[in-house]
Amino acid sequence: MAGGTFLLAMMAIIGVPGPVLIPLHASVQLVSNCTRVIAHREHICWRPFGVLALMATPFPLLGLELAEHLDFDQTKQLMGLLILYAAWVPKRSLNNLSETTSFGLAGVLGGTLGVVVGAVGPLIAPFFLRADMNKNNIIATKALCQAYLHILKIVAFGALGFTFKEQWQLFVPMAFAVIVGTYLGKWLLSRLKENRFRLLYKLILTLLAGRLILGGFL
Distance CA 156, CA 150 (A): 10
Binned at pLDDT 50, 70 and 90, residue 51 comes out as very high
Q: What is the pTM of this model?
A: 0.78
Cβ atoms within 10 Å of 101's Cβ, excluding its own = 13
Distance CA 216, CA 218 (A): 6
Mean pLDDT of the chain: 84
Alpha carbon of 100 to those of 141, 144, 161, 189: distances in Å? 15, 17, 34, 33
- 65-84 pLDDT, tens digit each: 887 887 777 777 877 887 78
- According to DSSP H, which parts of 40-167 are helical? 46-56, 60-67, 72-88, 99-117, 121-124, 135-159
Contact 75, 117 (CB under 8 A): yes
CA dihedral 102, 105, 110, 113 (to 10 degrees): -150
Q: What is the mean pLDDT of residues 182-197?
A: 76
Report the first-to-last Cα separation within the chain, whole angstroms. 30
* Residues written for the chain: 218
Binned at pLDDT 50, 70 and 90, residue 94 comes out as low
User: Which amino acid would we find at residue 94?
Assistant: L
Q: Of all residues in the chain, what percent carry a pLDDT higher than 90?
A: 24
